[in-house]
Amino acid sequence: MTFTLSSLVLALAATLTGVVNAHPIAQSSSESTISERGSLLSSLGIQSWSQPPEHPVHKLFARQSTYPTGNPDVTTMPDAWKQALSNALAAGLIPDIPQSNEGVYPNGLNPLDPSICSSTAQCRGNGDIWDSPDGMLGISFDDGPTAASPALYDYLRSQNQRSTHFMIGLNIAANQNIFMQTYNDGNDIAVHTWTHRYMTGLTNEELVAEFGWTLQIIADLTGGRIARYWRPPYGDSDNRVRAIAKNIFGLTQVNWNHDTDDWEIATGQTNPTAVANALASFIALPKSPGLMILEHELDTNTVQAFINAYPNMKSSGWDTRSIPELFGAPYYQNAQGNTSPVTPQGIVAGSPAAGPAAAAAAGNAVTTGANPTPANATPTSAIAMGASVSPSSSASVHKNGATPSIRGVTGYLWALLVLPFLL
């Protein structure tokens, strides 16, 4: 099997003229085999799925995207995201819950009412994760990447400890090299929204933009990987927010069962000693349920609080794992981990969980049957990240109305055509 520059050019030409194949190379069966791919990689001088920064494939994904610099403008977000929301609303998948004011609902509505189920009020929604399995301690951090993050990542690597990082989109955009450090270390990347606002106070469209842009930049920087988990800022979510996260983006909500309040060190509301004492008290608890501790990579104080407590976690017999490893799940919706192949699932894919919204959206989707989702993966989202699909042509791919170009035809069309063989 060979793969030439001319075949790559033909693949791109087919994309831009509206013809999209699951693979750019003809095959005798519906999927290429592992051995075929290995042979192809060898022919290209590639020894592993994970490519070094200087490899030519990265030029296809040069960091030239334009991302919001503050609260996202919902009028300019990709059309595919807008359409997915419209489909979900039409299918009755998004409940009509009024916006709150930092978790306080109008007209005296009860946040614990099952129809609302506000996680600010400690209501545990269907499918939420709040606890780790017995005997396990979920290692996760919010609000990165920041200037304090590299010290945390260095320590985690020195301990061979994997972790989940719920990242803010704006912080990723501002600290891309720091982001890549933890990604290259093999840690799980998850969503903490674009601007870290109270989610239940946002409109449906604002919610879509907050999730969408965060997933977008993660995908752009990781070769198309779609995060599996998200954590609501301030723990603020309800059934409307959950429905948009799950039914449109395939995200699973992760909360916590113990809070260090470490972020308050910077405000003077607490201090390192109080945080250390809180961590010690959590670690000393019985092993059931397992621990899901809220910690941050905000500054040197929060990072050092974890570093100081970690030896006690291990000596106390806790099985420390990243969030997906707690449950034996893949890191991402379309990849087992940071070096495994990305499943080219297209812009959208129907799934039982996504229901009619996904099915309706899938009519305009570019999909492929290659590389099926692992058996233990959760259902695919109604819209995966990449570039948006223009309503006028399912092959004209762009973001924010930009004219299609080598960079514009990134995301999943390139994943469909090229990445199954290059990454």
The first and second tokens of residue 421, run together, are 């063989």
Quote the crossing angle between the two packed helices 79-90 and 239-249, to the nearest 10°: 120
Active site (catalytic) residues: 142, 296
Contact indicator for 103, 85 with CB cutoff of 8 Å: no
The whole-number pLDDT of residue 18 equals: 34
Q: Which helix (H) or strand (E) holds 19?
A: none
The whole-number pLDDT of residue 80 equals: 87
In our burial notation (b when 16+ CB lie closer than 10 A, e otherwise), range 101-114 reads: eebebeeeeebeee
Question: Which of 265, 295, 271, 269 has its CA nearest to residue 282?
Answer: 295
Quote the crossing angle between the two packed helices 239-249 and 355-362, to the nearest 10°: 30
pLDDT tens, residue by residue, 204-236: 999 999 999 999 999 999 988 999 999 999 999
What's phi and psi for 101, nearest 5 deg? -110, 95
15/68 Cα distance (integer angstroms): 27
CB neighbours (10 Å) of residue 352? 9
- pLDDT, averaged across the chain: 74
How many residues are present in the chain? 423
Residue carrying structure tokens 């306080």: 104
Question: Which of 8, 121, 132, 127 has its CA nearest to residue 60?
Answer: 8
Alpha carbon 317 to its chain centroid, in Å, reads 30
| Burial (CB count within 10 angstroms: exposed 0-12, middle 13-18, buried 19+), residue 203 | exposed
| Burial (CB count within 10 angstroms: exposed 0-12, middle 13-18, buried 19+), residue 231 | buried
Contact indicator for 330, 378 with CB cutoff of 8 Å: no
> Degrees (nearest 5) of the Cα angle 402, 13, 22?
100
293/255 Cα distance (integer angstroms): 9
Q: Which residues of the chain have pLDDT under 70?
A: 1-65, 344-423
